Structure 1
């Protein structure tokens, strides 16, 4: 029997304290969307948001990109032929950014993995057994963002069997949309969290940076969490990908939900988790998938060559010992808890 395990781990924000400005109050909104919980904490003189407005924004995004919504735009595209399909603003922004990350990662990040995701049992429909090599090989003919043509708000598929899966980037995008909505309300101190993915802006009311705890598995054999390090940031986005977070298991065999779009097989790398810091959450969310496919030294080298991304990695070395490492920029953000 194939069983699915999901542990929502990654990063957590530490509640703000020591408010200096007595005219500013803390407000919180909590809810459920996109198959997970969300939490918004902000500081302002008055309550400027409603739960209904947040839920409405997330509902619109779901109607565009949710595979679990039968009448969503993404399901219309996935079940259609070549197109062209007229896409909405949310869909356009996510596809456009995904194409950029696809090219930058040389195809490691690819939102056309939906057929492979389903084949390995991480899709909408459950499976009874894992695929064989012939099934994987046949499915690869339907994979590749080079088979997408995007011109303005029109999207075409070169292969009718091509299907999209935005789950690797849509939550990060949703966090950005919510953060932009807060800023449109003149809210300048906040934490937006959706499914463990964060975007923050500070400083705290007492003038100090926002503090974010980095979660990790306590050991390689379970899903326990310890917090050994804390990031201090003024603003930005933080997301985490991990092969301990969501996996399928058949007896002793554990299958990661991160799938290599080039080979068609789940990733089996030394990286256990990758925590990304970037300016916006769609970037962090997209690239955390990329880092999971690299070796630790490759990942650090990749991050150190860039100005827009920093990374904290937990990995197994050649002898199986769990270690961690981080990019130069990430070191500047970390303090001990």
Structure 2
């Protein structure tokens, strides 16, 4: 899923981390476009040699595995034949996806691709016709179900003909963490990685503080954005957001967003504008943001409270019945908020 999210990075000016630093520390930036969105990698180092080439190489390798836009990618091979030999990246993502599916009783399901395509949010755009007919949704649902996927060694198999997968709802979070691992392996301890609004951070910024992430609140019309309303610190955490305000269409006074409910076949059309999820890593945060937005505010916050092992915290931004925009947070989320 291509994210158009609510997150803005709060950048700091380059300066030495402390007066005792043995060598001048510089803030280095790598940036570009990949996976249908932007990316920015910022880190502190005494060696000013750019890692741009290494970063771009990671995107190329992961896209060859998981990109629906790249002909011949492993995911496209699976969707064409119902089987594929997995590489390290695809195996990690599919394994995590299946674990999340079981943890959320199927609210997260990468076999949702036929429904994503049917609603017009897929890679191959169809002529817009609005809400799909009920019989078309019913037919597509016969191909949906994570239980139709089986990992056997390093091979992924579909146990039902016609099952296809879409990993866009989790691949960006995975990529963020892989980039973080690259930096760690290069001896870099202070960094922030952002891929389309999905982020992970380690250490501190040039001011010696935990990296700051600003959260925007959309106006009631959902098309314009007010200035940053708050900021959270990201001390060694991952953060991801799912929302209904970028990829959507309106019909009959209802907004239908690109998040698809895999059990009902319906596009998201509740009162939630967004949910921002924090976890131990971006991979986990990205895996759970779609299920949490489908659960809704009350059920989602209860889920977080009842499943502490996943280490989730979340902030919901939603419309109240009177049309005002409000927020609701899990108990642990506020400790990371600065204002």
Range class of TM-score, shorter chain: over 0.9
Corresponding position of 2:7: 11
2:138 equivalent to 1:137: yes
Counterparts in 2 of 1:221 and 1:184: CA distance versus 1, 3 Å:
closer
CA distance in 1, matches of 2:330, 2:222: 26
CA distance in 2, matches of 1:281, 1:143: 26
Corresponding position of 1:329: 332
1:152 Cα shift? Answer: 2.3
CA distance in 2, matches of 1:162, 1:62: 21
| 1:109-165: CA deviation from partner (whole Å, max 9, x where unpaired) | 000011000000011222222420111101101001011111221111011210000
Q: TM-score, normalised by structure 1?
A: 0.93
May I ask how many residue pairs the two structures share in their alignment?
A: 329
2:76 equivalent to 1:75: yes
CA contact (8 A) 2:274 2:317 kept: yes
Mapping of residues 52-131 of structure 1, within 5 Å: 52-81=53-82, 83=83, 85-128=84-127, 129-130=129-130, 131=132
CA distance in 1, matches of 2:158, 2:188: 40
CA contact (8 A) 1:218 1:226 kept: no
Structure 1: segments with no counterpart, 5+ residues: 1-5
CA distance in 2, matches of 1:199, 1:115: 31
Q: TM-score, normalised by structure 2?
A: 0.92
2:290 equivalent to 1:289: yes
1:26 Cα shift? Answer: 0.9
CA contact (8 A) 2:233 2:337 kept: yes
CA contact (8 A) 1:28 1:39 kept: yes
Moved more, 205-214 or 29-38: 205-214
Corresponding position of 1:3: none
Please give the secondary structure, in 2, of the residue aligned with 1:164: coil
CA distance in 2, matches of 1:277, 1:90: 22
1:303 Cα shift? Answer: 1.8
RMSD between superposed Cα atoms in Å = 1.8
CA distance in 2, matches of 1:108, 1:170: 17
Structure 2: segments with no counterpart, 5+ residues: none
Mapping of residues 150-161 of structure 1, within 5 Å: 150-161=151-162
CA contact (8 A) 2:272 2:318 kept: yes
CA distance in 2, matches of 1:124, 1:38: 20
CA distance in 2, matches of 1:217, 1:119: 28
Mapping of residues 205-224 of structure 1, within 5 Å: 205-224=206-225
Please give the secondary structure, in 2, of the residue aligned with 1:150: strand
CA distance in 2, matches of 1:239, 1:225: 20
